[in-house]
Amino acid sequence: MLTRIIQLLALVCIAIGATAFAQDRDIPSSPAQVQLSFAPVVKKVAPAVVNIYAKKVVTRRVNPFLDDPFFGQFFSQGFGGGLSRQQVESALGSGVIIEPSGVVVTNAHVVRDAQEIVAVLSDGQQFDARVSISDEKSDVAILRLETEGKRLPFASLKPSEGMEVGDIVLAVGNPFGVGQTVTSGIVSALARSSLDISDYNFFIQTDAAINPGNSGGPLVDMTGGVVGINTAIYSKSGGSLGIGFAIPSEMVASVVAAEKTGAKDRAQEGDEPKTIKTVARPWIGVHGQEVTADIADSLGLDRPKGVMVSRIHPASPARAAGLKVGDVVTAINGHDIRDPAEMKFRLATVPM
């Protein structure tokens, strides 16, 4: 009798387990559950992404001996040293339209010294473009397309502050000139500062495939918001190794704001001088060092964080506000500061 009861209980447990397993493996109840896809995000963003073709004329010396450490001294003294020729070089990159009037964000290195710039939309439309502002320090440039009043599709900048490591992102651009391409990945790291890419080494790291030609294209989240501008890759071969870097949208927004209001003008060199705006940024005249574990322990901090002030300029507004050598800056405008690179980034994005 006891054996019979145990057998019945075993059958009940098996039945319950099978039911639970069946619930975990439900048949999809709608086409939407079967066809999960990033296509809606791509359809929203792709029309605003442009391929950028930038041309510039460079002068190159023809004589191969000019670069030789020994023979160069002779040829530079009249023995054919003046022979040179002009060549047209083309740069390939990407960009994203952020306003329907034709305002495009891209990388400064994509359009550096360009005499002619053409932007091509995904539907084949082409527009001549001019550089309105170029910020070499952040590697961000703003272009204005000559649309003759035509309104264009655009994407919106979205703060990257809400991003977390592991979030899914898409990179859109024109790698190797093959045409508009979308790649997917995750946010691998935030506030990556141990690099030497620009003056503001503060990037979003992603494993979404980024290749030459992707520079200037958008990094977008699952709502279609532009959270970064793709700018560089870590690679020994020139191809993607799954380590790409994007400029956070907060830095991009500061350059966009400067293009509209807070920029200074400068003349661009060339046969036809043009006026290009540059970014004016806050200055506090403070130098600092990273807070190490030993420094944190001596100051009674629970962990290494912030920037210890090591030097202050005599005219520093921070000095006038009471900041002293030895003080530790732990936050700026509500954002925690981990190291000098982050402090520099946060100050650079303060509106002027």
Burial class (CB in 10 A: 0-12, 13-18, 19+), 44: middle
Determine whether 109 is an active site residue: yes
Cα 212 vs. chain centroid, distance in angstroms?
Answer: 14
Determine whether 139 is an active site residue: yes
Beta strands in 10-125 (DSSP E): 49-61, 84-99, 103-106, 116-121
Catalytic residue among 134, 135, 138, 139: 139
**Spatial CA neighbour of 331 closest among 315, 317, 349, 343:** 343
Catalytic residue among 160, 215, 249, 254: 215
The 8-class DSSP code of residue 317 comes to: H
Catalytic residue among 94, 109, 132, 221: 109
According to DSSP, the β-strands at 49-61 and 103-106 are unpaired
Beta strands in the chain (DSSP E): 49-61, 84-99, 103-106, 116-121, 126-135, 140-145, 168-173, 181-192, 203-206, 218-220, 226-233, 244-248, 263-268, 274-279, 286-290, 307-312, 328-329, 331-332, 335-336
Catalytic residue IDs: 109, 139, 215
